[in-house]
């Protein structure tokens, strides 16, 4: 199980959120909490010194005891900050919270080699619930995430599993979601499938299971939903999904990322996805709805597959949309398909010649329309 380690990382000047195991034995003496054994602190020194040497801005995240979602003062990590400062011969900054503005400001002010310890992550019940929105809040201060807490690695909590997923999953979806705002000024209808759906679902307070989400974009999604309402733009999210259960194989790919298999694909006919499953494609109801709406448009803009179409079990939504766009074009609509993967999917249906304009560069096709990047599926109708 060779994992990418701190030694392999380029972290100079980056904010490195490091999950450590500072669950140290404490004892009350004269009204103060005293650390009985420093083994767990000592065990982190090698990693911390390496990060310091590499010029990282270090933010430490840990739990202490079982406060069960409450601010239990006797389980504060503040004494650990003092002890760590002694042991590493450096000042350790401390913030009495693990999320929020104060944490972000202090983290932003760190210089290379500086260390900040955050308050007990279990002061929030969302930690042990592995709440996706909470993981997104933790991830706000993470350019890079490091887990040095083997002692806590057997638990899928927000500070171990959740935040790692958020950081690893950051990608192209961001560009797309930011552009929705601009599209809402031009489109009559916006159809959203694909990975972005789940960030919108979070914004609606739904459960997304293990789906790809960007919890730090939930507010963008919320704003889009409100703007759509105000402007009377029809914004439709996928209402059902094909879900599957991701299972780690214990093997790594060439990039050192764990290879995951998706088992037991099934239709999930609900806007909530169970905890162990991941949304992989739009479902049959969504397909029916989308292919009914697409032919009504005079101008169609499509960017981004509806699912993980590279796996044929999760390709039907994308292919159905590709065929609908081609059919509508044959009946007189103007269609623009942008994005390397969207075009790849269109090619697989053999309908590439039946749309108006194709660009393998998502960015380029969007500049064609005022230089904006495009989300999911957008149908723009001329008045
Ligand atoms: P394009 O290249 O057309 O702009 P993107 O690169 O943004 O499209 O997105 C394509 C990728 O998104 C594909 O590799 C696809 O597997 C992935 N994808 C689509 N839906 C999901 C989903 N529900 N969960 C995870 N990945 C998804
Ligand atoms: Mg792509």
Rounded Cα distance, 279 and 283, in Å? 10
Contact residues of ligand 1, CB 6 A cut-off: 172, 194-195, 212, 279-280, 303-305, 307-308, 310, 339-342, 362
Q: What confidence score (pLDDT) does residue 176 get? A: 66
253 CA distance to ligand 2 centroid (A)? Answer: 19
Q: What are phi and psi of 112, to 5 degrees?
A: -50, 130
- Report which ligand 1 atom has the smallest distance to the Cα of 173: 7
Whether the pLDDT of residue 371 is over 60: the answer is: no
**What ligand has the least distance to the C-alpha of 342?**
1
The answer to whether the predicted template modeling score (pTM) of the entire model surpasses 0.75 is no
**pLDDT per residue as tens digits for the range 230-265:** 999 999 999 999 999 999 888 888 777 788 899 999
Q: Going by DSSP bridges, is the β-strand pair 234-237/189-192 parallel, antiparallel, or unpaired?
A: parallel
- Report which ligand 1 atom has the smallest distance to the Cα of 197: 23
> Do residues 37 and 27 touch, judged by C-beta distance below 8 A?
no
87 CA distance to ligand 1 centroid (A)? Answer: 47
**pLDDT per residue as tens digits for the range 192-204:** 999 999 999 999 9
- Report which ligand 1 atom has the smallest distance to the Cα of 309: 16
Percent pLDDT > 90 in the chain is 65
Ranges 19-23, 199-203, 324-328, 373-377: which has the least confidence? 373-377
* Stretch 42-53: mean pLDDT: 93
Q: What are phi and psi of 223, to 5 degrees?
A: -60, -40
- CA 143 to chain centroid, in Å, comes to 13
Tell which residue, 210, 382, 367, has the closest CA to residue 298. 382
* 88: CB partners within 8 A, 6+ apart: 45, 48, 49, 115
> Do residues 133 and 215 touch, judged by C-beta distance below 8 A?
yes
**What ligand has the least distance to the C-alpha of 362?**
1
Tell which residue, 275, 20, 261, 248, has the closest CA to residue 153. 20
* 54: CB partners within 8 A, 6+ apart: 6, 9, 11, 12
Rounded Cα distance, 343 and 304, in Å? 9
362 falls in which pLDDT band (50, 70, 90)? low
- Report which ligand 1 atom has the smallest distance to the Cα of 176: 7
């Amino acid at each position: 199980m060779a994992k990418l380690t701190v030694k392999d990382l380029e972290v100079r000047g980056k904010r490195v959120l490091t999950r450590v195991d500072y669950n140290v034995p404490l004892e009350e003496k004269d009204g103060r909490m005293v650390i009985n054994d420093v083994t767990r602190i000592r065990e982190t020194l090698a990693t911390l010194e390496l990060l310091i040497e590499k010029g990282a801005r270090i933010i430490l995240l840990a739990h202490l005891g079982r406060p069960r979602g409450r601010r239990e003062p006797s389980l504060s990590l503040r004494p650990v900050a003092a002890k760590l400062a002694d042991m590493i011969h450096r000042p350790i900054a401390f913030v009495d919270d693990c999320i929020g503005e104060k944490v972000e400001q202090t983290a932003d002010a760190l210089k290379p080699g500086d260390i900040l310890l955050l308050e007990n992550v279990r002061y929030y019940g969302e930690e042990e619930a592995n709440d996706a929105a909470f993981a997104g809040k933790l991830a706000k201060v993470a350019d890079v995430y490091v887990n040095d807490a083997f002692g806590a690695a057997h638990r899928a909590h927000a500070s171990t599993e959740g935040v790692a997923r958020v950081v690893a999953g950051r990608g192209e979806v961001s560009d797309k979601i930011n552009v929705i705002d601009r599209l809402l000024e031009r489109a009559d209808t916006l159809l959203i499938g694909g990975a972005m759906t789940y960030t919108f679902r979070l914004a609606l307070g739904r459960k997304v299971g293990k789906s790809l989400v960007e919890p730090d974009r939930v507010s963008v999604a919320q704003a889009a939903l409100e703007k759509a309402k105000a402007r009377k733009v029809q914004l439709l999210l996928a209402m059902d999904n094909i879900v599957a259960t991701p299972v780690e194989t214990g093997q790594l790919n060439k990039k050192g990322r764990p290879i995951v298999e998706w088992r037991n694909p099934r239709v999930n006919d609900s806007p909530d996805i169970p905890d162990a499953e991941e949304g992989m494609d739009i479902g049959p109801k969504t397909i029916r709805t989308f292919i009914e709406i697409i032919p009504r448009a005079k101008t169609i803009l499509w960017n981004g597959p509806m699912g993980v179409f590279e796996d044929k079990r999760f390709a039907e939504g994308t292919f159905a949309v590709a065929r609908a766009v081609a059919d509508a074009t044959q009946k007189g609509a103007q269609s623009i398909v942008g994005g390397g993967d969207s075009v790849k999917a269109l090619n697989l249906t053999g309908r590439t010649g039946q749309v108006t304009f194709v660009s393998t560069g998502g960015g380029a096709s969007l500049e064609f329309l005022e230089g904006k990047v495009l989300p999911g599926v957008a149908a723009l109708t001329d008045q």
